[in-house]
């Protein structure tokens, strides 16, 4: 099968290319020579072959006209022969904001090659990490609040914040918080190097479709702590033995002011529960293993199945 990629060849997509090639499929640069088109978020051309649409971004911020911003995505959602949702949360959000899907679809989480990430180095300190393109709703201030309380028990711990500061996010100075590349994208080699000596991955961003940083941390063996409202992160942790889903977060799908403090606030109970899980991991350090469903070969084969289904 010849596959044309329409849109960003982001890492979550390009990581599948080697597996596809081993299976006998190829990536073509001319859609007229393709059997199927994989579009990312939108359909930017007039396709002559069946389209599988990969979705992740849905707008739901009440401070903007989210229906207008979703309109192009909604048209692609209805038009595509098949749709890949990156999580069950992604499907629910798409059906709420884009319209009910009646055609072919699959829920396929992002995958990685664990052999490229599992390079743990023993160490004495307690290192916590989180990686993102930071925006207000990624909850960086709340994460640092949690870490600050955690320091009352483990005062020499470090929190590594990886990735650039984007809309509504900024560096919050703290002697135990170490920032990497706050002004630009961080490379995978640098991320891997930092992950080598990390004990806990903390992910508090609500409604994340399927954050690649979380599956990468799992592949690196780092136990993830997240909440019940973090979408794809929550789902990936639910299938990974040793990861922790902390209950008590607001998991509403309704639109909200996602860049404002009330939306992102952690209740005292939720904060206490997160810190308790962090302490538990420190008292009993261990590594996790990437489940089959998050392996890049599995992900790539699932994409091929839906492509074959629309032909």
pLDDT of residue 119: 83
The torsion angles phi and psi of 196, rounded to 5 degrees, stand at -55, -30
Interhelix angle 140-150/268-283, nearest 10 degrees: 60
The torsion angles phi and psi of 287, rounded to 5 degrees, stand at -115, 155
**Could you give the domains of the chain?**
2-111+295-310 (3.40.50.2000), 114-292 (3.40.50.2000)
267 class by beta-carbon count within 10 Å (0-12 exposed, 13-18 middle, 19+ buried): exposed
How far apart, in whole angstroms, are the C-alpha atoms of residue 172 and residue 179?
Answer: 9
Condensed to tens digits (0 to 9), the pLDDT of residues 102-136 reads: 889 999 999 999 889 988 888 888 999 999 999 99
Asked whether residue 9 carries a pLDDT value surpassing 80, the answer given is no
How far apart, in whole angstroms, are the C-alpha atoms of residue 296 and residue 11?
Answer: 11
Asked whether residue 233 carries a pLDDT value surpassing 90, the answer given is yes
State whether the Cα torsion 38-44-45-50 is positive or negative: positive
Can you give 93-108 as a three-state secondary structure string?
HHHHHCCCCCCEEEEC
List CB contacts of 193: < 8 A, sequence separation 6 or more. Answer: none
DSSP 32: G
Condensed to tens digits (0 to 9), the pLDDT of residues 49-107 reads: 999 999 987 999 999 999 999 999 999 999 999 999 999 999 999 999 999 888 899 99
pLDDT of residue 171: 95
pLDDT of residue 133: 93
Instruction: State how far Cα 276 lies from the chain centre.
Output: 24
Residue 164 token pair:
């650039």
Q: What is the mean pLDDT of residues 278-291?
A: 96
What percent of the chain has a predicted confidence (pLDDT) above 70?
Answer: 100
How far apart, in whole angstroms, are the C-alpha atoms of residue 9 and residue 85?
Answer: 17
Strands of 97-141 (E only): list them. 104-107, 127-131
Q: What's the whole-model pTM score?
A: 0.95
Residue written as token pair 């949702």: 85
The torsion angles phi and psi of 72, rounded to 5 degrees, stand at -65, -40
Q: What is the mean pLDDT of residues 17-24?
A: 97
């Amino acid at each position: 099968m010849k596959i044309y990629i329409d849109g960003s060849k982001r890492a979550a997509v390009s990581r599948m290319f080697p597996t596809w090639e081993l299976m006998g499929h190829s990536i073509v640069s001319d859609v007229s020579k393709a059997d199927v088109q994989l579009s990312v978020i939108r359909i930017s051309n007039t396709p002559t072959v069946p389209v599988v649409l990969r979705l992740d971004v849905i707008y739901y911020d009440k401070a903007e006209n989210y229906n207008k911003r979703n309109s192009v995505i909604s048209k692609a959602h209805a038009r595509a022969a098949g749709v890949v949702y990156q999580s069950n949360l992604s499907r629910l959000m798409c059906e709420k904001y884009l319209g009910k899907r009646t055609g072919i679809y699959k829920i396929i989480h992002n995958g990685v090659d664990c052999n490229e990430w599992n390079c743990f180095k023993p160490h004495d300190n307690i290192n916590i990490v989180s990686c993102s393109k930071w925006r207000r709703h990624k909850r960086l201030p709340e994460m640092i609040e949690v870490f600050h309380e955690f320091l009352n028990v483990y005062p020499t711990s470090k929190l590594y914040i990886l990735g650039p500061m984007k809309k509504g996010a900024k560096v919050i100075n703290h002697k135990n918080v170490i920032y990497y590349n706050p002004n630009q994208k961080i490379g995978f080699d640098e991320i891997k190097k930092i992950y080598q000596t990390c004990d806990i991955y903390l992910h508090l961003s609500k409604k994340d479709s399927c954050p690649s940083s979380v599956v990468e941390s799992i592949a690196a063996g780092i136990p993830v702590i997240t909440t019940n409202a973090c979408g794809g992160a929550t789902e990936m942790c639910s299938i990974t033995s040793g990861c922790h889903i902390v209950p008590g977060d607001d998991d509403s799908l309704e639109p909200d002011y996602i860049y404002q403090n009330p939306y992102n606030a952690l209740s005292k109970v939720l904060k206490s529960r997160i810190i308790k899980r962090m302490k538990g991991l420190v008292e009993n350090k261990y590594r996790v293993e990437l489940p089959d469903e998050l392996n890049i070969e599995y992900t790539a084969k699932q994409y091929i199945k839906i492509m074959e289904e629309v032909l």
